Structures are given as C-alpha cells and as structure tokens.
Amino acid sequence: MADADVVLPVTGLIYVGAVDAAAPTSLSAPGVAWTSLGNTSADNLPEFGSDGGKTDTLGTWQNPAIRTSVTAAVEQVKFKLDEFTNAAFQLYYGQSSLTGAGAVVGRYDVNTVGHIEKALLIIVQDGTHYVGFHASKASIGRDDSIKLDETKLSELPLVANILQSPTKPLFSWIGAGLGPAV
C-alpha cells in the first residue's frame, strides 16, 4: 500500500490529438501533439467504463448452465465539455471542418451528424501527482442531449468509444507507480 498512489481528482484536462498520437512523456506538459478541449464539467467528471460485455448463462432442460455467452464490449470514456467552441461542436456533431461554400464567421453550421476519430488523453492532477489515460484511437461523438439549466453551466455530453489501433495498445494508464515491477 502506498498513500501516494491514491488519487483525488482535484483538477484535470482532456486533450485530443491526431489518431495514433504517442502518449506524452510528461503529464505536466503533454506537448504540441495535444490540444486541450478547454473547460470540462466539475460536477460530471470523466467516467471510464464499457458498453456491452454482458454475460448470459445458457442452459438446456437437462443442464441449466451448459455454457455462457458474452456479448462484445466497447471500452469508452464519457465526459462533458463546458465550452461551446468550434472544437467542441466538431466533437459533438462529428464534423471535421468549417470550410467551404457557405461557411460564415460567428456561426457553426451542421450538415451531418456522426463521430470523429481522434487520439484521446485525459490527465488527472492531485497536487504534484499526475495520472493519465491515453487512447491512440477513439471515435468521439455526442452521448446525450444538450440540456440547459439557468442554475448550472451548460454542457456538451460526449462519449469516446475506444478503437483498436493496428500499431498501439487499446489504451494505457500513465503514472509514476505504474508499469513493470522493479
């Protein structure tokens, strides 16, 4: 047991980069390959989980538990952005650019809705202790409706479905006490 390995998620940042962007060597300064998504919800911190992976027991008359069946699971991270910016709307609606005929300054036009693929980096800071989550490839899009409430900050709810990169791990956790035992 090590008290230093206990994390209180006091603050954190969420970044995106090009698909297959390498994990940073420093979590306190991730580098130019990563773009911060700005302010994120303090009330609804990132949620790491999976969708699917349900196990069912199948049986017969003679044997009520003859085998199990497991549905495919997709690892995912859910988070909420508090800034209504071009970058946030691109992730929410899945559009990759605002250029072309009809683009107007001061307006975000939506012609299609879908997901956009990016690398994902989430850094949690507890004083001088950092823990990071890195996925080389994620399909990011809206998770829920935009709900407005005059007593709370507005949020864009997003989900990042973690995809397998052909050359990198599915995802990695990064921190000082992680990795091979020494």
Q: Give the pLDDT of the chain (182 residues) as one tens digit per residue.
A: 677 778 889 999 999 999 999 999 999 999 999 999 999 999 999 999 998 889 999 999 999 999 999 888 899 999 999 999 888 999 999 875 566 666 677 777 777 788 999 999 999 999 888 999 999 999 999 999 999 999 999 999 999 999 999 999 999 999 987 877 55
Tokens of 20: 């297959």
State the pLDDT at residue 76: 97
CA distance 147 to 78: 16
Q: Which residues contact 156 (CB under 8 A, 6 or more apart)?
A: 80, 81, 82, 84, 88, 89, 91, 92, 142, 146
CATH of 3-50+68-175, one of 1.10.260, 1.10.3470, 2.60.40, 2.30.110: 2.30.110
